[in-house]
Amino acid sequence: MGSLHGLLSFIPLWLSILLLSGALLSLGAAGASIRVWALAVFALFWLFGLPKTLTLTITAILVIMAIPPLRKVLFSSNVMRLLKAMKLLPKISETEKVALEAGSVWADGELFSGRPDLNHLMQEPYQKLKAEEQSFLDHQVETICQMTNDYQTYQDGDLAPEVWAYLKKEKFLGLIIPKKYGGLGFSNLGHSEVVSKLGTRSIPLAISAMVPNSLGPAELLIHYGTEKQKDYYLPRLASGEEIPCFGLTEPGAGSDAGAMTSTGVIFKDENGKLCVRLNWEKRYITLGAISTLIGLAVKLSDPEKLLGGSSEPGITCVLVPASTPGVTLGRRHDPLGVPFYNCPISGKDVVLSVDQIIGGAAGAGQGWKMLMECLAAGRSISLPAQSTGGAKRTARIIGAYAQVRKQFGISIGQFEGVGEALAKIGGMTYLLEACRIYTAGALDKGIKPAVVSAIAKFNSTEISRNLINHAMDISGGSGISLGPANMLAHSYIAAPIGVTVEGANILTRTMIIFGQGAIRCHPFAYQEMKALEAGDLTVFDKAFASHIGHIVRNGCRALILSLSRGHLAKVPSGPMRRYYQKLSWTSASFAFLADIAMGSMGSRLKFREKITGRFADILSWMYLITAVLRRFEAEGRQSEHRAFADYAIRYGFSEIQKAFDGLYENMELPFPGKQITALFALWSRFNTLAVPADDQTGTKIAQAMMTPGDVRDALTARGVYMPEDVKEPMGRLEHAFLLSVEADQIMRRVNRAVRKREIPKGRPEEILLSAREKGLITEEERKVVESATEACRKAVEVDSFALDEYKKGVVNAFTQGKDNRKGPLASVSGA
């Protein structure tokens, strides 16, 4: 050893520093224990000839940290006191605690860890439908889509009576209800596929079927109902005998549902029976006006403690038959003209037996927990399904439209500007489907990933809103002109609905994804908070020591992976290896930075939503990229799909880069944190994670979307209702599209001949005749071109109305001939 010490003294200083830093970084990145650190620091410092006092001081600190009883007394107890005094860790209310503890941690935990096991994430299910679910899609779902006329639904303000009858008869309202209660007992993926396909025909159809299957009486009963409640209500809900709704939102309690003022009071009636008296005023309740069974959330009080618990049990869910005296239904809101029932509902002194509390007397006060747990999973099904179905349909329509619509003599999709928008629609549609299936797979495995659900809901609705905007741009005036021929406007108009419901998006991004993620997915933060609150030094000491190790490991990993641009990460092999490396690199940097932000801002971080929003973006895109990688692997690494995956992944990484840049720019850290982050910012811009996909990748996607065949179908046909009848706008467009592609091939030959002056220039029909006469094309081919021209003309036609006809439509839609509106403007004449 002595000789080695001597040898190292001959190494130049810069090399010594480099070697020492490398050794310490490797140790840190490997996640060495404190004991190993103590030994290694002592040995390395001695070997490199560092001053003895420094060596001994640092080694002594590490030894103290390595011996729990000493660490507890000398270190952790003081940290605990300091944290309490500085109020650095946020105080968590009871309702927040329930929300935080709802559901489970899954891929989000891996990505939050800084060292994700990507092999494991690539083994997670990416499943297929069961045979009976596929059959239901091919028959019942196909039939109801055929039965539904979306335009007429908007005109009538409701689905046709026969559509409602079929929905009930075929148990669309009982997709999630177990078979033993007469429901269809579908998997989460099956449920998602049905909602997704219904939405490709008509949004009101999808919403009407989706709401009874999402958070509401059925789901709450399945998980928390008493046997008696399940036996009575579930078969009635499955068969459509009962139409459910769920009332949570109130005029004063929207995002902050805990602020509700609806009440339930326990009392004994004159016969000594335990009852609950309910008073409520709810709004935005889907299916409210036509419901027969209301799942109602109220704040319950039990002043005489008749239920044997607290006098204020709190939020409770009650089943209210709509026919009970005191219940008022019968009005509806108008959600952007989308004709599904969305209603105010109220109740005055509605008296029911306590047996109507979901879960019976034991369910009193459990409402918040029930809602949070169900929302934790449910958020990832309905809205991602509807958004993804919509995106696939949009991609199919707009790819065809961009081929069929010709301007300046060529298909508009051939212009790079349009191709750019097409590429985004294609790439992001690939991503949405990946996210939908990957997330449903976790649910079917029994996981209830709360943070991932929020990620899926937020991003699906945001991305699909963005895609429909691009599609509207491409479709030009035909997207804007309303009427039966318009295929996109209803999706465009309805986009904000998905954004608002089940946790409005701004709040979901800035509060839930990172707020809940930082506490739930972080391996130690929540343990520390709970220990701090309980004053439990032993638990705090263990968690805090591990937390420090976690920060050191992630800091070292982040530095090594950043310097090596991810190349040193241990990741799965294969064509996507480079992306796995970047994902590992991102995860390490994210985890390290999240700890810095939490440590430096503490409880203030909760209110720095511009910061938490950016962290949420990084976590979201890491998850979405993981889902895309999983899809690519699960589908057999098909090279024809590579451009779609590349586009989505590179888009994701460039969004992550933006979020990191924003964090470095805006995180307020005490000295010298600000200066260090300024360096990080400089380095991050110089050493960017990725740039968006190149133009060539985008062109490949645009071409694939405008070319009939397997690639287009894999992206846009599965789970999309595709009417073939040319009387239907979508059938007409598809027919024109296929003809147009065939005609373009023929015309390529003809145009070549014109350029070579083999045939004279002229009007299109003259050129075609000359080509036919010259034997350049057959008569059959000439007819194909002719039919294609006619089909394309019809496919891009828009509706127009006689002046009177139009006025009548407006009167019908808005006033029904008589102004019976209620609300702020009702009294304003002509408003």
Ligand X SMILES: Cc1cc2nc3c(=O)[nH]c(=O)nc-3n(C[C@H](O)[C@H](O)[C@H](O)COP(=O)(O)OP(=O)(O)OC[C@H]3O[C@@H](n4cnc5c(N)ncnc54)[C@H](O)[C@@H]3O)c2cc1C
CB of 333 to ligand X, least distance (A): 8
CB of 371 to ligand X, least distance (A): 9
Which residue's CB is nearer to ligand X, number 22 or number 252? 252
Q: Residues 88, 402, 497, 518: which binds ligand X (CB under 6 A)?
A: 497
* Contact call for residue 645 and ligand X (CB under 6 A): no
Which is nearest to 714 in space by CA: 315, 433, 410?
Answer: 433
- Taking CB atoms, the residue at the shortest distance from ligand X is 254
* Contact call for residue 511 and ligand X (CB under 6 A): yes
Q: Which stretch binds ligand X (CB under 6 A): 62-70, 86-94, 407-415, 506-514?
A: 506-514
Q: Residues 147, 362, 507, 726: which binds ligand X (CB under 6 A)?
A: 507
Give Cα 208 distance to the centre of its chain. 21
CB of 235 to ligand X, least distance (A): 23
Site string for ligand X, 120-159 (x = CB under 6 A): ----------------------------------------
Spell out the alpha helix ranges (H) of 159-187.
161-169
Pairwise CA distance, residues 454 & 783, whole Å:
53
Which residue's CB is nearer to ligand X, number 193 or number 502? 502
Q: Which stretch binds ligand X (CB under 6 A): 129-137, 507-515, 749-757, 784-792?
A: 507-515
* Contact call for residue 504 and ligand X (CB under 6 A): yes
Surface-to-core class of residue 161, CB atoms within 10 Å of its CB (0-12 exposed, 13-18 middle, 19+ buried): exposed
**Under 8 Å CB-to-CB from 679, ≥6 apart: which residues?**
none
* Contact call for residue 335 and ligand X (CB under 6 A): yes
* Contact call for residue 258 and ligand X (CB under 6 A): no
CB of 420 to ligand X, least distance (A): 29
CB of 658 to ligand X, least distance (A): 20
Angle between helices 382-404 and 779-795 (to 10 degrees): 130
Which residue's CB is nearer to ligand X, number 245 or number 628? 245
Which residue's CB is nearer to ligand X, number 414 or number 453? 453
Pairwise CA distance, residues 702 & 528, whole Å:
51
Which residue's CB is nearer to ligand X, number 491 or number 510? 510
* Contact call for residue 491 and ligand X (CB under 6 A): no
Q: Residues 113, 459, 510, 716: which binds ligand X (CB under 6 A)?
A: 510
Q: Which stretch binds ligand X (CB under 6 A): 158-166, 504-512, 635-643, 669-677?
A: 504-512
Residue spans of beta strands (DSSP E) within 235-273: 244-247, 263-268
Pairwise CA distance, residues 666 & 663, whole Å:
5
* Contact call for residue 233 and ligand X (CB under 6 A): no
Sign of the torsion angle spanned by Cα atoms 206, 208, 212, 215:
positive
* Contact call for residue 514 and ligand X (CB under 6 A): no
* Contact call for residue 339 and ligand X (CB under 6 A): no
Give Cα 70 distance to the centre of its chain. 47
* Contact call for residue 501 and ligand X (CB under 6 A): yes
CB of 681 to ligand X, least distance (A): 26
Q: Which amino acid is at 136?
A: F
Which is nearest to 381 in space by CA: 440, 445, 446?
Answer: 440
Residue spans of beta strands (DSSP E) within 496-548: none
Pairwise CA distance, residues 144 & 162, whole Å:
9
CB of 548 to ligand X, least distance (A): 31
Active-site pick, 502, 528, 655, 728: 502
User: Which residues 426-465 are close enough to bind ligand X by CB under 6 A?
Assistant: none
Number of helices followed by number of strands (H, E) in the chain:
36, 9
93-111 as b/e, with b when 16 or more CB fall inside 10 Å?
Answer: eebbbbbbbbbbbbbbbbb
**247 strand-pairing partners:** 296
Q: Residues 16, 95, 149, 255: which binds ligand X (CB under 6 A)?
A: 255
Which is nearest to 605 in space by CA: 502, 527, 529, 499?
Answer: 529
Which residue's CB is nearer to ligand X, number 340 or number 660? 340
* Contact call for residue 699 and ligand X (CB under 6 A): no
CB of 162 to ligand X, least distance (A): 25
* Contact call for residue 95 and ligand X (CB under 6 A): no
**Under 8 Å CB-to-CB from 125, ≥6 apart: which residues?**
441, 442, 444, 445
SS3 830: coil
Which residue's CB is nearer to ligand X, number 482 or number 506? 506
* Contact call for residue 560 and ligand X (CB under 6 A): no
Q: Residues 239, 249, 328, 603: which binds ligand X (CB under 6 A)?
A: 249
* Contact call for residue 516 and ligand X (CB under 6 A): no
SS3 246: strand
**Under 8 Å CB-to-CB from 488, ≥6 apart: which residues?**
394, 397, 398, 468, 471, 472, 475, 479
Which residue's CB is nearer to ligand X, number 599 or number 613? 613
Count of residues interacting with ligand X (CB under 6 A): 20
Which residue's CB is nearer to ligand X, number 295 or number 399? 295
Which residue's CB is nearer to ligand X, number 252 or number 575? 252
Q: Residues 98, 137, 238, 248: which binds ligand X (CB under 6 A)?
A: 248
Q: Residues 50, 506, 537, 754: which binds ligand X (CB under 6 A)?
A: 506
Per the annotation, the verdict on 633 as an active-site residue is: no
User: Which residues 281-320 are close enough to bind ligand X by CB under 6 A?
Assistant: 284-286
- Backbone dihedral angles phi then psi of residue 689, each to the nearest 5 degrees: -65, -50
**Under 8 Å CB-to-CB from 426, ≥6 apart: which residues?**
395, 399, 644, 647, 701, 702, 704, 705, 715
Pairwise CA distance, residues 429 & 268, whole Å:
57
CB of 501 to ligand X, least distance (A): 5
**321 strand-pairing partners:** 293
Which residue's CB is nearer to ligand X, number 333 or number 794? 333
Angle at Cα 266 formed by Cα 260 and Cα 270, nearest 5°?
A: 145
Q: Write out the H or E segment, with its range, that includes residue 751.
A: helix 729-755
* Contact call for residue 205 and ligand X (CB under 6 A): no
Pairwise CA distance, residues 302 & 264, whole Å:
8
Sign of the torsion angle spanned by Cα atoms 268, 271, 272, 275:
negative
Pairwise CA distance, residues 25 & 30, whole Å:
8
Which residue's CB is nearer to ligand X, number 620 or number 740? 620
CB of 290 to ligand X, least distance (A): 13
CB of 284 to ligand X, least distance (A): 4
User: Which residues 585-614 are close enough to bind ligand X by CB under 6 A?
Assistant: 609
* Contact call for residue 28 and ligand X (CB under 6 A): no
CB atoms within 10 A of CB 131: 8
* Contact call for residue 76 and ligand X (CB under 6 A): no
CB of 606 to ligand X, least distance (A): 9
DSSP symbols for 804-816: HHHHHHHHHHHTT
Q: Which stretch binds ligand X (CB under 6 A): 262-270, 389-397, 499-507, 550-558?
A: 499-507
CB of 549 to ligand X, least distance (A): 33
Q: Residues 247, 313, 363, 427: which binds ligand X (CB under 6 A)?
A: 247
Q: Which residues are catalytic?
A: 502
Which residues contact ligand X (rule: CB under 6 A)? 246-249, 254-255, 284-286, 335, 342, 497, 500-501, 504, 506-507, 510-511, 609
